[in-house]
Amino acid sequence: MHWSHKLERLLLIIGLLMLGIYVGARIDGIVLSRAELQRFEGQRSAVREEASGGLVVKAPDFSLWSEKRVKDYQESLAAHFSPAVAVLRIPKIHLEVPVLEGTDDLSLNRGVGLIAGTTRPGGEGNIGIAGHRDGFFRGLKNIAMGDTVEIETMEGTSTYMIDRIVIVPPSDVSVLAPRSRASVTLVTCYPFYFVGSAPQRYIVQASAAGAKLKDSSANKNGDSESGRIQQPKSTQ
């Protein structure tokens, strides 16, 4: 009986030690896993910060995005980009996205693109910005007249009020011509849910907050003050 008790105590101690080792390993694994996730998120944040030119941009909300567009965005994180020229924000739809130079496929997978030939952010003309209808710009379907649009640069933030929403054919670049007030024009494909290349363009125009806008009939051929406007590539 004496040896039986000793054996039971020994087995109990061994069992407690093994349980302690198991619990310790689990805790260590969880800590290491969290550390790795934090490291990964830190890398992603650094990539986003690099792409936004030092301006603070939160991670995108993928809830309205297509699976393909989410995949394209994630793959774009491995690419190097020149710093963003601005950050576009639309509070109504919780949109916050870097504005990159140009409208090539890679730029539009990472953010939205400044259309060549239009005014640069912070300027007094018409800032043309293109984005994918199944990505960053899908939320445009939920905006309305009077909603605000913000453009942030390193020099400050400009606020615009939406005063025109129109659907046009892809060939119509007159919407990118200068208006009578400082403006921003957002361009995406339409319909928002369409299989293949969408046949039309959804245009959202906003003028400087507080400005009384009178549409100008000038520059019907799409010539801007900063050069010939280039029709953006399909935003799919």
Residue 94 known to be catalytic:
no
**Does a cis peptide bond (omega within 30 degrees of 0) precede residue 232?**
no
Residue 54: the pLDDT is: 56
pTM for the full predicted model: 0.70
**pLDDT confidence band for 230 (50 / 70 / 90):** low
Residue 184: the pLDDT is: 97
**pLDDT confidence band for 218 (50 / 70 / 90):** very low
Domains in the chain: boundaries: 52-228
Residue 203: the pLDDT is: 97
Residue 228: the pLDDT is: 46
pLDDT tens, position by position, 67-98: 999 999 989 888 888 889 999 999 999 999 99
Distances (CA, A) of 110 to 20, 64, 80, 105, 234: 47, 16, 10, 9, 15
Active-site residue (options: 2, 5, 94, 132): 132
pLDDT tops 80 at residue 62: yes
Q: Which fold has domain 52-228?
A: Sortase; Chain: A; (2.40.260)
In the predicted model, what is the mean pLDDT of the chain?
79
CA angle at residue 28 from 26 to 34, to 5 degrees?
100
**pLDDT confidence band for 3 (50 / 70 / 90):** low
Of residues 30 and 112, more confidently modeled: 112
pLDDT tens, position by position, 6-53: 667 766 777 777 766 766 655 554 544 454 444 444 544 554 455 555
* Amino acid at residue number 52: S
Residue 5 known to be catalytic:
no
Give mean pLDDT, residues 122-147.
Answer: 95
pLDDT tops 50 at residue 213: no
Closest CA to 72 of 115, 36, 106, 95: 106
